[in-house]
Structure 1
Amino acid sequence: MNRALQVVRIQTFTAQNGLTWPWVILATAFVINVALFSVIGDDIPGGPKTGALASIYLTAAAVGAVLVHQHLPFMLGFGVTRRTFFTATTVLTAAWSLGSGVVLYLLALIERATDGWGIRMSFFDLPFLARDNPPLQIIEYAVTLLALVFCGFTLGAIILRFGATGFWIFTVAAIVALGAAAILITWQRWWGALIGFFADQPTAVLLTVWPVAIAAVAAAGSWLIIRRVTP
């Protein structure tokens, strides 16, 4: 564990720019949205709503890919084992995701207190989040970030292990699998039951349990690939 913590410290130093970029992208999206809706004024009933918060989540997936693709060979060159690298990187990204969740929650509080930054804009304080339960709202932010980082882990590991060709083969295979599933569901007329299954679940479950499940599957997949990566 001491070795893993040493790797965490090294990762924090070498990955700080990568871990900063999601916030840079989010800040840019926020400024653009404030400027845009300030110009539009009060012409939008109920106030402007934007999905630009998704920018930090999409960038988080890219950060996950970079952490594996660029940092794993570097660490292996220093004699760090794959298990230690995976453990350290998991700890680092879990801490980053939780810290980001706290910051997003604080920004949501400011948004609420300022009546949407003075223009009634919903950017951080989204209505479907657990707004009356601060710990749960933080978790909702954090676990989705963690799930996307681990999805990025998997993509980065695939590229590192199999190269660009392997990545494109994986992409085509994923599209074929999803297409086949859509055809089967349509043929069996399961769409109504499938939509009803998710619609009947509490929003908190959709935003916590399912992201955790996705993160676990992606983490397991990335670990299986990382185990066979050579420097």
Structure 2
Amino acid sequence: MTGQATVPTPAEIFDLTGRTALVTGASSGLGARFARTLAAAGATVWAAARRKERLDELALENARVRPVACDVSSEADRIALMERITGETGPLDVLVNNAGVGSGARPLDEESGAFAQVLATNLIGPFHLAQLAAKVADGRELSIVNVSSIVGVVATAPRGGASYAAGKAGLIGLTRQLAGHWGTRHVRVNALAPGWFRTEMNAAMFDDPASLKWIERNTMVRRPGSPAELDGALLFLASAASTYVTGQVLAVDGGWTAR
């Protein structure tokens, strides 16, 4: 029949060919994985982090990856980053706010300055980058994926710091609020909340047999996650597969938060 809209195939729904994405905190761990995943789906991926040499290594693996040094806790760096992206490849189609730090201090010992610095990276940076991306979207479809954590959903005491939990919980609140404000602007905002995945930040915990047993005991599938198990969730939120999804928190945690 003539006049019927073409229904995209499942493969086409997840295809990011021709899209531009930014992944912060892309020099290692989940951020590097996210950059590889989006590039493999066809996107041009700006990989941002402080450790430029690691980003250069990532770019050697895939010509679609563009490395750029950026400290997301710095307002000047954030503005310069977005101006460069917009000037060279146009407005973003996908923003993955992944950069995150922790102070490593227990709540009774954490100084207010250290607490504020964690929030500068984990909460203020993502808000400002989202704001900058939305301002230049100009009616384009923009998907913002804020990488939170199960620590932002439920308490994981005695593990985890107060500033890290506050930042990740704040990111979820920010996600819902921005989704409500920007829904009519064709800007979707969702949060990805990973469970226990080994990263540089938590390597010591994974190397401790007692801590690893604690993770296994309290996760429904009785094991930590593999980074590849986040690929599908990221692509779902970043692509046309989730055009009617906004303001949501997608936990990929082996059942941790369902206990």
Return the index of the structure with the highest Cα Rg: 1
Structure number having the greater strand percentage: 2
Same fold at TM > 0.5: no
TM-score, normalised with respect to structure 1: 0.33
The structure with higher relative contact order (CA 8 Å, sep 6+) is 1
Structure number having the greater helix percentage: 1
